[in-house]
Structure 1
Amino acid sequence: MVSFKLTTLLAAASLSLGTYAYPAARDTTPLWLTLPATPELPGNPVGTKTTVNGVQIWHAEFGTKSSSQLPVLMLHGGFGSANYWGSVVELVMKNHYVIVMDARGQGRSTMDSTPYSFDLYARDAAGILKSLGISQAAWVGWSEGADTVLAALLNSALSPMVARAFTTGAWHDLAANNATYTDTAIYKQFVTRAAAEYQAFQPNGNLTALADALTLLESTQPTWTASDMAKISLGPKLTLSWGQHEESINLSEQTVLPSLIKNSKSVILPGVSHFAPLQNPTQFAAALETFLA
């Protein structure tokens, strides 16, 4: 969801970080070109901060625990927060116990000087599950969160904790990035909005440090090969999804990645883009329910 041009854009733009109002999209604007308002999480929870791998990770729980159903862990995209899942959580929590968390340095979570990696994100997520006494969950990831799920599946110490997995907007190497994404209006709108949201969450936070960390991450990772992807053995319990109008990741990845992960399932969500969970949360939640059934 973020990009390796994030630092440049933040430095060059004259951002009004206290506000980020945009005119409502005209009715004729295709849904996939819109960036709906960031939702609140149901009940606007205070949440909990837990120390994991040297930082404070914010997380919150929704729905009712059930011994007969897997917990659902939802991981947001880069430069966002768990709030971006709000409308989807509101639907999924009716039938499932859901955990959301802010990735390190983002939303309400803190950061340190440790270089970001998708494996580190995965270890953070596993740490939250362990703190809640959860040994296995269905992992759901969006953008950077999607690659966090793949990283967990590639880490032999973490993969047993991933009973099922659903990704949206995943990519396996740098060549899969769409080089023109950072020129789009929706990208610039998202970065401006997310910067304002960051300052609201962390008035004393270091936006530059976060932007630098995310820029380094996405300009150097992931570098997974076909042989790496072949090691993922979740089979049909892994669903790889993208929006029909995916603009952050090259459309070829919708064919390439499923071909590299044996027996994985692939879903193309109609009428939406990389921001599918925001643009049509009802459709996205329905896809999750099918996956979780």
Structure 2
Amino acid sequence: MATVRYDGADLYYASCGQGEPLLLLHGNGEDSSYFCGQIPSLKKHYRVIVMDTRGHGRSGRGEGQLNFTRFARDAAAVLDALGLSSAHVLGYSDGGNTAIRLALDAPERVRSLILNGANLDPSGIKWTVQTPIVLGYGLCRLIGLCDAGAREKAGILGLMVHHPHVRPSELSAIRVPTLVIAGEHDAVRQRHTEQIAGSIPHARLRIIPGGSHAVAAQKPAAFNRELLQFLQSL
């Protein structure tokens, strides 16, 4: 366990295992412990690197607004701290959105890309999921007028309300091997997930039957099988 100081915040990260580096990026409102169902299997084959996203878990927030461009730079800073020029990158949910941004902004840092439950814009989220998020965001903004904790929570929820904004055509610039993976009952609309896979050259698409948005936690054996099959085919 360690931290790297970058852009006004201490960013927490840890690594275990040996082999090619594999960076895991968690979702909104979570921390790196989300991947507890993946690490034991992955570390047998890879050097697994986890980090807590800025403003989440054990990482500081720093000043200014949270956004995926900033998160992608944070991920690159963690790789730099470990002396790594590049890594395979697995991103879940908002971590997937960060992974997309990293692949677009710094393609030399990404060896391969695994996108689980990512979205290109807020419309990709099912309204039954997005509506409570929007309501919670509005409430946190209101309470945040007099409460710092609520203001910080609003900043995190705002990532799902207002971001990301990636055009499908931008994804054609991603040239690394890519796996797009989602649960059958994901919070992201399946046609949106299919659009992501269809917009990245030669991307593979896998839908795990019965899986939810948190399919890696819900069905770790099935998820890990797809993940390792992809990585070991490279």
- Does the TM-score normalized on the shorter chain lie above 0.5? yes
Give the alignment's Cα RMSD to 1 decimal.
1.7
* 2:55 is aligned with 1:115: no
Match of 1:130 among 80, 85, 88: 80
**What are the ranges of 5 or more consecutive residues in structure 1 without an aligned counterpart?**
1-46, 192-205
Match of 1:176 among 117, 120, 124: 124
Q: Deviations over 1:114-170 (max 9, x none)?
A: 211111111100100011000110000000000111001111xx2101011111001
Give the match for residue 287 of structure 1: 226
Q: CA separation in 1, counterparts of 2:35 and 2:152?
A: 21
Is contact 2:8-2:63 (8 Å) kept? no
Identity of matched residues, %: 27
Is contact 2:168-2:195 (8 Å) kept? no
Question: Secondary structure of the equivalent of 1:160?
Answer: helix
Which aligned runs of 4 or more in structure 1 are off by greater than 4 angstroms?
Answer: none
Within-5 A mapping of 1:251-270: 251-270=190-209
Is contact 1:61-1:100 (8 Å) kept? yes
Q: CA separation in 2, counterparts of 1:208 and 1:109?
A: 18
Match of 2:114 among 166, 177, 183: 166
Q: CA separation in 1, counterparts of 2:197 and 2:56?
A: 29
Q: CA separation in 2, counterparts of 1:277 and 1:255?
A: 19
Is contact 1:52-1:124 (8 Å) kept? yes
Q: TM-score, normalised by structure 1?
A: 0.71
Give the match for residue 245 of structure 1: 185
Higher helix share: 2
Within-5 A mapping of 1:79-118: 79-118=29-68
- Residue correspondences, number: 219
* 2:228 is aligned with 1:274: no
Match of 1:216 among 158, 161, 170: 158
Question: Secondary structure of the equivalent of 1:106?
Answer: coil
Is contact 1:122-1:149 (8 Å) kept? yes
Counterpart code for 1:181: V
Q: CA separation in 1, counterparts of 2:116 and 2:40?
A: 18
Is contact 1:92-1:98 (8 Å) kept? yes
Q: Deviations over 1:221-253 (max 9, x none)?
A: 11111222222222xx1111111111x211211
Q: CA separation in 1, counterparts of 2:198 and 2:95?
A: 21
* 2:9 is aligned with 1:55: yes
Question: Secondary structure of the equivalent of 2:159?
Answer: helix
Within-5 A mapping of 1:28-39: none
Counterpart code for 1:52: Y
Higher strand share: 2
Q: CA separation in 2, counterparts of 1:207 and 1:264?
A: 40
Q: TM-score, normalised by structure 2?
A: 0.88
Q: Which has the larger radius of gyration?
A: 1
